[in-house]
Structure formats: structure tokens, C-alpha cells
Structure 1
Amino acid sequence: MSLCSIKAALLLVVFLVASLWSSAKSARQVAESNNDLGLKFSLFPKWKAVIVFNKLEDGSDFTIHCKSKDDDLGSHVISAGKFYTWNFHVNVWGTTLFFCSVTTKHGSGTYDLYKAENETDLNWSIEEDGVHGLDSLTHFKWTNQLLI
């Protein structure tokens, strides 16, 4: 192979890499602008994390078992003052849903703790009177449902 052929091949590789990089950047910008318009579809899903705190004042444990259509996260016992967390990517259709069964000595219930269309609710606390959504790690936003 001549030096001229090697230079031509190298130039072709550089051109292809630059073209692919530009295409990927453009696709990412389109996906982000689509999300700004309220569209759920994304080629570049972001990591999400849900945190569920044990804020039972009596110091008792609770059991949580979370599932989605594709994943069963299993059953976990969460001690007083501790938390349970998991992370995931939202599916490309923007329809990811995680629902969790929560059992305490005060009652039990099943709750949607992550819905892609309402993705602001990522932090939760389990308390004697129910499951509370949090707008930060310490401040209450609203009560989801009372435990039955």
C-alpha cells in the first residue's frame, strides 16, 4: 500500500468519524428539543433514581416490593431511618411505570412511585399515615394515599 493510499484511507476515516459525530449531536439536539415540546419519545434516555425513605416515627420497619412491566426489583425490608433506592432508564416510548407494594404495621397498599408522564415524583417517604411525595429530600409535597 502506498503512502498516498494510506493518507487517503486515514482522511476517509476522519471524515466518517466527523460525520457520525455530527449526526449523533444533531439527533441528540432534536430529541432534547422534542422533550422541551412535551414529547415523550427520546433516543437518549436519562438515568432516573427513585428514593423511598423510612420515616415511621415508631422506629418500625416496612417492606417494599417494586415492579415494572419489565423488571421485578424483589422484596426489601427497610429499617427505621434507612431508605430504598433504585435507578433506571425511561423506555424510549416514555411509558415507564414502577408500582410498589408497601407493608407496614400500620397498613399496606400499592402505589405508582414512578410514572414517566409525571416524573417529578422521585422521592417518597413512608409514614404512619401514608406514602408522601417529597419535593426535596426533606420537605413534603403531598400525600399519595393512606395505608389501608
Structure 2
Amino acid sequence: MAACGGSMAAAMAAMLIISTSICVSSGKKITVQITNLIRYDNAMVIDCRSSDDDLGQQTLLYGQSMEWRFNPNFSKTTLYYCNAMWEAKQIHFHAYEYMRDNYGCGLDCRWLFTVDGLYAYNSKNESWDFRFSCLV
């Protein structure tokens, strides 16, 4: 009888894990977009990655964007970080950080590089929030 109860508990646990995995993987995907609006004659080289995905190095001319989509991981620790370079400047920033962005940008996380600095789109207020200066 005890073996049967243990087997039932194991089966229930397995079903819970499977159903949780299905819910996480079938959830809506997050979109991250990074746009270069620094200056018309400035190309920006950007390299983004997470612990699981290397998106490769891309060159963005003025007005061009890079974009990717993903499902956050089950443990809510998803982090994409990027290195952006142009002229003699280089910036390292977190393009997506679950604990910050799950409620900040929601499913649509957009970044805008301008001559003044880096802006992040705030979907709650439908505004661009200044994050930090790129002039240093």
C-alpha cells in the first residue's frame, strides 16, 4: 500500500512538472529591440547574449534595429546583456533582466541609443525613460 501511495505521489509530481513546463514554454514571448539613433554617420557594433544564447555581433547603421524574442526561464533569472561600441565609446548594459523588466517593459522591451544617451521604453507610461549618458 505504501509503495502504491509513493508511486501516485511521484506520478502527481511528474504531472505537475510537465504541466508547469508547458505553461512556461507556451507563454507569450518577450521581444527586445535595440535601435541606433546616435548620428546619421555613426555605425554601432553590438554584441548581445545570455547564459544560453549568443546572438552574435551585429552592426547597426543609423536608424537600424536588432530584435529577438524569447520565453523567460522558469526560475525568473533570464538576463540578456550587451556590449555596444561606436567611435571610441563602449557601453555594457542589461538589455533584459527579468526582475527589472517583467513589470517595467512587459512583453515589449525597447532600447534607443541617441547622441544624448540610452533610453528605455516604459510601456506602462508609454514614454521613453532616460537610463544613462553615453557621452562619457
**TM-score with structure 2 length normalisation?**
0.69
Structure 1: gaps spanning 5 or more residues:
1-22, 32-41
1:91-130 equivalent positions in 2, closer than 5 A: 91-105=73-87, 107-119=89-101, 120-121=104-105, 122-130=109-117
Identity rate of aligned residues, in percent?
Answer: 23
Larger RCO, structures 1/2 (Cα 8 Å, 6+ apart)? 2
Q: CA deviation at 1:43?
A: 6.4
Task: Kindly name which structure, 1 or 2, has the bigger radius of gyration based on alpha carbons.
Answer: 1
Gaps of 5+ in 2: 1-14
Aligned equivalent of 1:143: 131
CA deviation profile, 1:1-59 (whole Å, cap 9, x unmatched): xxxxxxxxxxxxxxxxxxxxxx99xx68xx7xxxxxxxxxx565420110111111343
Q: Which runs of 4+ in 1 moved over 6 A?
A: none
Structure 1 Cα separation of the partners of residues 122 and 60 of structure 2 = 21
CA contact (8 A) 1:95 1:116 kept: yes
Specify the alignment match of 2:6 in structure 1: none
Count of residues paired in the alignment: 111
Q: Which of 35, 49, 59 is the matching residue for 1:77?
A: 59
Richer in strand (by share): 2
- RMSD value over aligned CA atoms? 2.6
TM-score using structure 1 length:
0.64
